Amino acid sequence: MKHLLLASFLILGSLSAQAKKTCTDQPKDKWMSEADFKKKIEEEGYKIKKFKQPGSCYEIYGTDKEGKKVEVYFNPVDASIVKMK
């Protein structure tokens, strides 16, 4: 039973580590401000319902210019897309 629990924790730990995105290795003083970032992507047609800053990314939940729901991870230095769902 102990082995099963240990294996479960190891698997869950590796999955959560894989879930974290690395969007930049630049220090935070090189990042766009949240306000500038939000303005830039809204000008590109995104509508932000929820904004997050997990790790080294800016992440939004919202809609794209076609109105489709999106979850997007951006590089906070230049607002380039790292991953989109």
* CATH for 61: 3.10.450
Number of domains composing the chain: 1
Give the structural domain span for 68: 23-84
Q: What is the pLDDT of residue 21?
A: 76
75 falls within a domain? yes
- pTM recorded for the entire structure: 0.75
41 falls within a domain? yes
List strands edge to edge, sheet with 47-52: 47-52, 58-63, 69-74, 81-84
16 falls within a domain? no
Q: What is the pLDDT of residue 16?
A: 43
Query: Per-10-residue mean pLDDT for the chain, 85 residues long?
Result: 48 49 93 98 97 96 97 97 95
18 falls within a domain? no
Q: Is 62 exposed, middle or buried (0-12, 13-18, 19+ CB in 10 A)?
A: middle
